[in-house]
Homo-oligomer: A and B are copies of this chain.
């Protein structure tokens, strides 16, 4: 696949402004950011140098996939073989040495990831690089200065390129295939896990995914009091039987070749009660106000305040328990991803940024309602990527 020159140029420019000679990343999300390839087992290492040269050390089993989504120079390696019981990291040493040749003589300034972060699941298992990886880099680059590039990387992930926006649009279309069956499969008497499985099947068999190498998704169903627990940092489908009058929340994190959505819709089992209608109308209005306030230059706290003041005026202030949103795209749900749509956030919106908008109200013991969309910032304001 042709290289994403927009991303490449932007990265080169940021490296030059920040004084780095190179970034070296091993976390799957940052490999995707720097190469366009999303590792499966997260055992890939990428070296992005300030002159635009990009080398990825890729497990042999993933080379075919890597070539389909990236034009980066690839050094294949075998993390595990029949011929050795060496540790995975020791298998990386020689290919890494090769990839680092151009820096070895210089006193390079190299950015690596130092801070705790959230990574989306790339497979049933995936690698974690612990302090020994930084130690190996220090050994291979004895004269280099290694420092944390975590903030820089967060900034880079915030604004998407044209191609990245296109893939997010595809991700939304595939996710919609799941949500399209939600309304008709939510019925009193059915269990949460049955409903989640039926929606998951519609997503897994969506024709729109045929253009993707990897289309994954997690769909969750939370009903009645369980939907109130969706205020937590994570969702969980249980075996509860839907009751007449329940709020039924369907939450999804889906991924198209490494680019993630964060989507929630809430349904009513039966005719909505007055209380449910009031929640719905407050959430709809909070969403509309937040969308109207989106423009380049607006801050995260302004958008949060636009939504929160509607919820407060409707009497749902303390039931809106979390921030109005956070950056989305390179991860499904990372409250630290930019722009943070949070009461204290000075993050300024820029064209091409993508984030979620998730006004909500949660009543413990009764239920929760949330509407969560993925939004892109354009010169003219908000564009709803998940417009279904």
Contact = CB atoms under 8 A, between A and B. Distances in A.
A253 to B, nearest CB: 4
A105 interface: no
Instruction: Give the copy number.
Output: 2
A125 B334 contact: yes
Interface residues of A, number: 75
Contact of A127 (B116, B134, B148): B116
A225 interface: no
Contacts of A196: 204
Secondary structure dominating the interface of A: loop
B333 A253 contact: no
Contact of A128 (B88, B116, B197, B239): B116
Contacts of A218: 124
A13 interface: no
A85 B344 contact: yes
Interface in A108-162: 113-135, 148
Interface stretch (A66-74, A229-237, A276-284): A229-237
A79 B342 contact: no
A197 B204 contact: yes
Question: What are the nearest 4 A-B pairs in CB distance?
Answer: A121-B121, A61-B232, A197-B204, A124-B253
Given A40-B234, A114-B130, A193-B205, 17 more contacts: A41-B233, A43-B116, A59-B233, A61-B233, A61-B234, A88-B116, A88-B336, A113-B130, A117-B127, A118-B125, A118-B128, A125-B253, A125-B332, A197-B200, A197-B204, A197-B205, A200-B204
